[in-house]
Amino acid sequence: MMNIFYQSTRGGEKEVTPSRAILKGLACDGGLFMPDRIPKLDLSMRDLAGRSYQDTAYEVMKLFLTDFTEEELRSCIAGAYDDKFDTKAIAPLTKADGVYYLELFHGNTIAFKDMALSILPHLMTTAARKNHMDKEIVILTATSGDTGKAAMAGFADVPGTRIIVFYPKDGVSRVQELQMVTQKGDNTAVVAIHGNFDDAQTGVKQIFADREFAEELAEKGFVFSSANSINIGRLVPQVAYYVYAYCRLLDQGEIADGERINVTVPTGNFGNILAAYFAKHMGVPIDRLICASNDNKVLYDFFRTGTYDRKRDFLLTISPSMDILISSNLERLIYLSTGCDAERTAGLMADLTETGQYTADEDMRRQMEDFLGGFATEQEDREAIRKIYEDTGYVLDTHTGVAAAVYEKYRKDTGDDKKTVIASTASPYKFARSVMEAIGDGRLPEDEFEVIDLLCRISGTEIPKAVEEIRTAPVRHSRECSREDMKKTVKEILGM
């Protein structure tokens, strides 16, 4: 097996080992780490069909993380995908209304971020040992709602690490906020910023890019890393569940060997759907990658026009994890579409910073033809949730509802009736009030947990442990700051 090395999308770092790329998170020039090639799977879909999630994950991840030994990688996988998940399947498929929902919310924070953030602490601490890291790793993360809790749950009380999470004060659901502010762990810190997710994400990137601050940290015995989807240690584990989904369909006789499927993903920061693109180029028979946006439809407009333009109103919606105008992982697709031209990619990213937009040329757009953008309004999101519930009894969360609405429009517009997997990215209990409003089950009580109990009764499903735990959990984090004071706040938390 040939070694894979990583380089920055902007050219500032090359020949970086996988473990170093995971430790660094973001390249020193502000770029994202990309493998020097997307490897092909060693085994056929038929050979992988019937294997456990853990075995499938190993077969995928070993090809990207080539400086990890088999023992190290299998240990990381075993430590991540265990009884923290409430099903042995880890990522089960549920068929409803003719579509296969890939349920990525069975981990301990009931959102798809668990799929990667359950393993990232294991990968990172293994990487630290491999690279003789002698400093305390400070995980610095911005969240639109789910990454923060999943990252803290993964890193809580992990020796040699601290984690600081920034989230938009009024930009997450009540359950999301409670999950974060009640998080245990002596090494965890949560900060509500007065701004939106893009403000939080931009602030974190600026802190990472501050060389003087990095030197000051090093003198105090700290080094930054990231648990956001910009970390290649987040992206690689996500590839595994698309491989697994295809193999499950094949094993269950739902598709023929080699039959092409479509994949629809509710998308904000672009990492989840980019993982499906990687799976396709590893050899999974995926046809269209349908990128589903909410009313903040910056990605829809990009795939339609070729111009990425973040100069627009930021809208707060009932699918808050998708309320994003700067989709960080799109930079990786831009890099691939230029033929891995780092200088050109850096120029386009500079245009985005300086002017708020950039435009892909025709050659680049041809390289992106696997993707199709779509968007759903809040009303269409609600209608999809209500229709699927009324027709099948299956309850979607507000992000998966966007994907369902976009897919239905795509199917009607194109007549494409290929079997389709929709990434179901969160439990409906995480957004219970919005889900119940969509279903239209009368006047709702004020108390959030009474709404959750109502959802339990009408859906006939069990309230997840992650929700029951926060019902009475004490608030442990109450820190707030302005977006201009994020660096100052980090220093305070670290005692600098």
CA angle (289 as vertex; 336, 430 as ends), nearest 5: 110
Tell me how long the chain is.
Answer: 496
Q: Which two tokens stand for residue 304?
A: 């339609």
Under a CB-based contact definition with an 8 Å cutoff, are residues 421 and 102 in contact?
Answer: yes
The kind and range of the H/E element at 87 are: none
Distance CA 346, CA 63 (A): 27
Tokens 């991840």 belong to residue: 61
Residue ranges of the alpha helices (H) in 291-377?
298-305, 330-337, 342-355, 362-367
Under a CB-based contact definition with an 8 Å cutoff, are residues 91 and 53 in contact?
Answer: yes
The kind and range of the H/E element at 383 are: helix 378-392
Tokens 């997710």 belong to residue: 197
φ and ψ at 274, to 5 degrees?
-65, -35
Q: Nearest-CA neighbor of 303 among 410, 422, 417, 381?
A: 410
By annotation, the residues acting in catalysis are: 113
Distance CA 224, CA 427 (A): 31
Task: Tell me if residue 346 falls in helix, strand or coil.
Answer: helix
Tokens 């904000």 belong to residue: 268
Task: Tell me if residue 358 falls in helix, strand or coil.
Answer: strand
The kind and range of the H/E element at 209 are: none
Distance CA 205, CA 355 (A): 18
Q: Which two tokens stand for residue 253?
A: 């006789």
Under a CB-based contact definition with an 8 Å cutoff, are residues 207 and 182 in contact?
Answer: no
